[in-house]
């Protein structure tokens, strides 16, 4: 209400999105004693992130919008992570969320303490020189499940402030979605697709010898 989430649920289970998502939605609506028709809009994390997770989340959100005749709001996943950490960013440091993209690659972006985007969302292969320009300016906050990879490269860099246990949160997405709703920032329901950032590549399993 007024930008403050009434309830949310956060789960870390492998390969359970499709079977549990609608159940969780139903439980949360009962928890706050609201019906689906009471909603003004549906918000979803648009990516970047897991191909399967994004596909399931966006498909569910679009299905609800079609069924309920509600607008769709999509929030950048990295922005939502930055929003969450920024609540404790009392020193007003730069914010660098990182999502693991496998191997030594991460999905990342840089935001200032007002959540203005300083570096665009991109897929970055980490090495010893990554973010050197940012770190030369002073300390920056690094967080997300891809940040540990960066720490391994720059373990002695004093300007790296690592915050652990930060993952995309429905609470931050909800808060940002409320602001977007006030600005009438809605997606084209027919054409909206997740922000995968990279093409999905399917591989065949190796045959056992």
CATH code of 144's domain? 3.30.420.40
In a domain? residue 148 = yes
Q: Is residue 171 part of a domain?
A: no
Residue 57 lies in a domain: no
Q: Is the pLDDT of residue 202 over 80?
A: no
Whether the per-residue pLDDT at 201 is higher than 60: the answer is no
What is the structure's pLDDT at 18? 67
State the total domains in the chain: 1
- The answer to whether residue 163 scores a pLDDT higher than 70 is yes
What is the pLDDT averaged over residues 64-78?
A: 98
Whether pTM exceeds 0.85: yes
pLDDT score recorded for residue 16 = 57
Going 143 to 49 to 73 to 24, the CA torsion angle's sign is negative
Average pLDDT of span 158-176:
92
In a domain, 159, yes or no: yes
Residue 48: closest CA among 40, 58, 38: 58
pLDDT of residue 20: 85
Domain for residue 141, yes or no? yes
Q: Is residue 186 part of a domain?
A: no
Q: What is the pLDDT of residue 156?
A: 73
Residue 80 has pLDDT above 90, yes or no: yes
Residue 121 lies in a domain: yes
The answer to the question of residue 17 being in a domain is no
What is the mean pLDDT of the segment spanning 76-93? Answer: 97
- What ranges make up the beta strands (E) of 34-186? 42-47, 72-76, 94-100, 105-111, 117-125, 140-143, 160-163
Mean pLDDT confidence for 63-85? 97
Q: How far is the first Cα of the chain from the last one, in angstroms, to the nearest whole number?
A: 58
Q: What is the pLDDT of residue 46?
A: 96
Sign of the CA dihedral 50, 56, 61, 63?
positive
Residue 147 domain boundaries: 79-163
Residues 180, 197: Cα–Cα separation, whole Å: 22
Q: What is the pLDDT, as a whole number, of residue 209?
A: 44
What is the rounded distance in angstroms from the CA atom of residue 33 to the CA atom of residue 62?
23
In a 13 Å sphere around the CA of 157, the CA atoms on its Cβ side amount to: 25
Mode of pairing for the β-strands spanning 105-111 and 117-125 = antiparallel
């Amino acid at each position: 209400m007024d930008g403050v989430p009434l309830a949310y649920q956060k789960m870390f289970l492998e390969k359970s999105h499709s079977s549990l998502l609608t159940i969780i939605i139903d439980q949360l609506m009962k928890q706050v004693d609201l019906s689906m028709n009471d909603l003004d809009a549906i918000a979803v994390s648009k990516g970047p992130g897991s191909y399967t997770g994004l596909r399931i989340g966006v498909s569910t959100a679009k299905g609800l919008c079609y069924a309920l005749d509600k607008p769709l709001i999509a929030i950048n996943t990295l922005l939502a992570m930055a929003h969450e950490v920024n609540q404790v960013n009392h020193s007003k440091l730069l914010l660098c969320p990182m999502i693991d993209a496998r191997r030594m690659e991460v999905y990342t972006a840089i935001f200032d303490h007002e959540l203005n985007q300083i570096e665009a969302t991109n897929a970055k292969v980490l090495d010893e020189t990554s973010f050197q320009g940012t770190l030369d300016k002073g300390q920056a906050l690094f967080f997300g499940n891809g940040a540990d990879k960066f720490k391994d490269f720059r373990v002695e860099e004093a300007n790296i402030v690592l915050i652990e246990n930060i993952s995309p949160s429905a609470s931050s997405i909800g808060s940002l979605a409320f602001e977007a709703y006030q600005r009438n920032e809605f997606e084209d329901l027919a054409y909206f697709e997740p922000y995968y950032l990279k093409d999905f590549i399917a591989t065949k399993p190796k045959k056992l010898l």
